[in-house]
Amino acid sequence: MDERTDAQLLLASRMDPEAFTALYRRHAEALLRFFARRTLDPEAAAELTAETFAQAFASRATYRDQGVDGVAWLYGVARHQLGRFFRSGRVDAAARHKLGMPERPIPPEDFDRIEELVDFEPIRKALVEAIEELPDRQQDALRLRILDGNSYADVARALSCTEMNARQRVSRGLRTLALALQERGLALTTEAE
Amino acid sequence: MDTKFTFLDQLERDLQDAAAREQDPRRAFVAAAPVDRRPSKRRTGSWGTIAAVLVALLVVAGAIGGLSQLNQNSASSSDTGSAPQAQATGASGNAGEGSTKDLSDAAASPVPGSAPGIGTHRVQLSAEGDDSFSAFTPGDQRSGSQAAAPAQDLSKIIRDGTITLVVPKGGFGTAFDNATGIAEAAGGFVLSSSISQENQGTLMLRIPSRKLDGAIVKLRSLGRLAELNLTGKDVTSSYIDLKARLSVLQTQRELIVKLLHQSTTVSGQLSLSNKFSDVQTQIEQIQGELNVLNDKVDLATLKVTLREEGVAAPTGTEDVGHVSLGSAWDRAVQGFFGVVGAVVVGLGYLVPLLVLAGLILLVRRAVIRRRAAS
């Protein structure tokens, strides 16, 4: 376990990229949760995490230790990415391209795990209202998956579609929901974030 | 890192690869190729940006080139204005106050015996005073020592011109008749004529090229010279080219006739007969073109506009109507190459600046990296 602070890791990573790996290991899951709770979309959350770390790595030389903690700087990059996502409805990949990093699809098993990061309970009422405004196909998929807690295999069977198709419907529905909740001033955040 | 997310583990490896590429840029070429890249609007955007920058660069280059050519033209105009006799032989004139001369391209006038080329040579004189004038002739293009050379004039130049004369009040009819008489006396003829409002009219004269200048001098005695514009288009190279092609085809025709006599088979005779027909058609076409060219070279076309004192000069609308499709195409081609030329000239100015800017950026980048390292 690296004992250095986030700021020290960021400064050290200019010459020693391994230090950035340590920073990544320290904050990757938290950042993924940060994005998952705001976007409600596993795919978008994963991509935003990748793009944020790529952007942070590419611009780590611009970090100055002027009292701003390293993790605050990292979340500043994350908020910038999130803002762009909500404005454009898509995740930018410029930083990954700049570094020659591939845009990787999310493995199916990660879908469920990322969704688990989102605690829907505090906003269940608002969620039910927002779901009503979605297209029927997405509504059905979201009810089966989020409200009834079915697996994607069961959702696919109920909707008579492939599992991949069911994931896409849920993903799109969640993305629309996230935007709707943003507009209502509700975000799935915790105090720690 | 072993997380419960496969995705995060993979991302860590991707970041480590990126770090390794940063340490060793040579690996970048291999490793930068993405495994699964989906189409990105951002990439399209960056290509769009590059395209926009290139277009902007070309526009700026074109503007710079255009400006520089404009400056050159104005400079050359002032040069020719100060020493017209040195630039254009036979274009000597003594314009009165307020007169203008345009001797553009006169310096490039073809010299008989030299390599022929196609070019337009123009002498323009616009004067509202009574000036003495002598226009150039193809033979006059030899100046100084060249004039003394006994070389035969092989150049083929099509000469055209317009002359506008203001005649005294009541003298329009007489001047009109005299103009016709001058053309006929020079061995030419009136191609067409028109009279409007009984005090102004236009004659289209065809006059033997060698007698054009004498005819113009006589025409000028009919009234006050208001405008004179003479152009000479050098078609020597076209003429020589046509003659050469004609010669080759004639040789071919003779050969075919010989072979036709020797041929004993029907199919052979048929084939040769077809070839003979093709060659004969081509010979006739070229002969026709040569005849037209010879006619244009032999007979200059002069548009004479006569108007009585006090009558307003006609507007230029009729000239617009005279723009033929051929000349419009020529202008379009000239315009195209003009713009391309301007862009190339402009790039000549811009490239050193861009190189300098690139060097400054490289130095700045190196300084930033050094600071970051320290």
Question: Mean pLDDT highest for which of A54-58, A182-186, B102-106, B132-136?
Answer: A54-58
What is the spatial distance between Cα A12 and Cα B202, in angstroms, rounded to a whole number? 91
Q: Which residue has the tokens 């390292």?
A: B373
Q: Is A98 on the interface with B (CB under 8 A)?
A: no
Taking CB atoms and an 8 Å cutoff, what residues of chain B touch A110? 5-7
Q: How far is CA A176 from CA A31, A142, A187, in A?
A: 21, 11, 13
Q: Are residues B228 and B256 in the same domain?
A: no
- Give the closest of B5, B36, B43 to A97, CB-based: B43
Q: Are residues B84 and B209 in the same domain?
A: yes
Taking CB atoms and an 8 Å cutoff, what residues of chain A touch B43? 97
Reported ipTM exceeds the 0.85 cut: no
Q: Is B35 on the interface with A (CB under 8 A)?
A: yes
Residue A92: Cβ within 10 Å count: 20
Q: Are residues B114 and B257 in the same domain?
A: no
What's residue B45's pLDDT? Answer: 55
Q: Are residues B18 and B164 in the same domain?
A: no
What's residue A180's pLDDT? Answer: 75
Q: What are phi and psi of A192, to 5 degrees?
A: -60, -30
Residue B39 forms part of a structural domain: no
Tell me the average pLDDT of chain B.
74
Q: Is A185 on the interface with B (CB under 8 A)?
A: no
Residue B345 forms part of a structural domain: no
Q: What are phi and psi of B19, to 5 degrees?
A: -65, -40
Between residues B317 and A176, the one the model is more confident about: A176
What's residue B372's pLDDT? Answer: 65
Report the SS3 class of residue B190: strand
Between residues A100 and A40, the one the model is more confident about: A100
Residue B103 forms part of a structural domain: yes
Q: Please name which of B190, B214, B185 lies closest in space to residue B202, comparing C-alpha atoms.
A: B190
Q: Which residue has the tokens 């979340």?
A: A75
Q: Are residues B223 and B306 in the same domain?
A: yes
Q: Is A3 on the interface with B (CB under 8 A)?
A: no
Residue B369 forms part of a structural domain: no
Q: Are B178 and B222 in contact (CB under 8 A)?
A: yes
Cβ of B14 and A104 within 8 Å?
Answer: yes
Domain hosting residue B18, numbered range: 1-32
Residue B10 is encoded by which pair of tokens? 């993979």
B144: left (phi over 0), alpha (psi -120 to 50) or beta: left
Q: Which residues of A63-90 are buried (b: 16+ CB within 10 A; e: fewer)?
A: beeeeeebbebbbebbeebbebbeeeee
**Distance of residue B54 Cα from the nearest chain A Cα, in angstroms:** 21
Q: Looking at chain B, how many residues does it have?
A: 374
Residue B368 is encoded by which pair of tokens? 């930033």
What is the spatial distance between Cα A108 and Cα A163, in angstroms, rounded to a whole number? 10
**Distance of residue B6 Cα from the nearest chain A Cα, in angstroms:** 7
Q: Are residues B26 and B163 in the same domain?
A: no
What's residue B284's pLDDT? Answer: 93
pTM to 2 decimal places: 0.38
What's residue B76's pLDDT? Answer: 46
Helical residues (DSSP H) of chain A, grouped into ranges: 6-12, 17-39, 42-58, 70-88, 94-99, 108-116, 124-132, 136-142, 152-159, 163-183
What is the spatial distance between Cα A108 and Cα A167, in angstroms, rounded to a whole number? 9
Q: Are strands B299-308 and B200-208 parallel, antiparallel or unpaired?
A: antiparallel
Q: Are residues B234 and B94 in the same domain?
A: yes
Q: Are B207 and B300 in contact (CB under 8 A)?
A: yes
Torsion of CA A52, A53, A55, A58, to 10 degrees: 180
Q: Is B17 on the interface with A (CB under 8 A)?
A: yes
Cβ of B43 and A20 within 8 Å?
Answer: no
Which of B3, B7, B37 to probe by mutation at the A interface, max A CB count within 10 Å? B7
Residue of B nearest to A105 (CA): B36
What's residue B56's pLDDT? Answer: 87
A37 CB contacts (<8 Å, ≥6 apart)? A117, A118, A119, A187, A188, A189, A190, A193
What's residue A172's pLDDT? Answer: 83
Low-confidence spans in chain B with pLDDT less than 50: 28-43, 76-121, 123, 126-151, 317-318, 320
Question: Mean pLDDT highest for which of A85-99, A141-155, B285-299?
Answer: B285-299
Which of A23, A85, A110 to probe by mutation at the B interface, max B CB count within 10 Å? A110
Residue B238 is encoded by which pair of tokens? 């076209």
Q: Are residues B197 and B270 in the same domain?
A: no
- Domains in chain A, please, with CATH? 6-99 (1.10.1740.10), 119-183 (1.10.10.10)
Q: pLDDT tens for residues B37-55? A: 444 444 455 677 888 888 8
Q: Which residues are B234's β-sheet partners?
A: B119, B157
Residue B53 forms part of a structural domain: no
Q: Which residue has the tokens 């010299």?
A: B111
Q: Is B28 on the interface with A (CB under 8 A)?
A: yes
Q: Are A77 and A55 in contact (CB under 8 A)?
A: yes
Taking CB atoms and an 8 Å cutoff, what residues of chain B touch A108? none
Q: Are residues B229 and B82 in the same domain?
A: yes
Q: Are residues B25 and B72 in the same domain?
A: no
Q: Are residues B275 and B181 in the same domain?
A: no
What's residue A191's pLDDT? Answer: 36
Q: Is A179 on the interface with B (CB under 8 A)?
A: no
Report the SS3 class of residue B204: strand
Q: Which residue has the tokens 């030329």?
A: B341
Residue B339 forms part of a structural domain: no
Residue B229 forms part of a structural domain: yes
- Domain total of chain B: 3
Residue of B nearest to A13 (CA): B19
Spell out the SS3 assignment of B262-318: HCCCHHHHHHHHHHHHHHHHHHHHHHHHHHHHHHHHHEEEEEEEEEECCCCCCCCHH
Residue A4 is encoded by which pair of tokens? 């250095």
Residue B316 is encoded by which pair of tokens? 């230029």
Residue B6 is encoded by which pair of tokens? 């496969």
Cβ of B15 and A24 within 8 Å?
Answer: yes
Spell out the SS3 assignment of A130-153: HHHCCCHHHHHHHHHHHHCCCCHH
Residue B147 forms part of a structural domain: no
Cβ of A21 and B12 within 8 Å?
Answer: yes
* Mean pLDDT in residue range A62-71: 78
The per-residue DSSP string of B176-209 comes to HHHHHHHHHHTT-EEEEEEEETTTEEEEEEEEEG
pLDDT band at A62 (very low <50, low <70, confident <90, very high): confident
Q: Please name which of A26, A63, A23, A31 lies closest in space to residue A47, comparing C-alpha atoms.
A: A31
**Distance of residue A22 Cα from the nearest chain B Cα, in angstroms:** 9
Q: Read off the amino acid at residue A114.
A: I
Q: Are residues B88 and B209 in the same domain?
A: yes
**Distance of residue A76 Cα from the nearest chain B Cα, in angstroms:** 19
* Mean pLDDT in residue range A72-90: 86
**Distance of residue A137 Cα from the nearest chain B Cα, in angstroms:** 26
Q: Are B16 and A21 in contact (CB under 8 A)?
A: yes
Report the SS3 class of residue B233: strand
What is the spatial distance between Cα A22 and Cα A41, in angstroms, rounded to a whole number? 27
The per-residue DSSP string of B90-127 comes to T--EE--TT-EEE-TTGGGPPPTTS----EEEEEEEE-
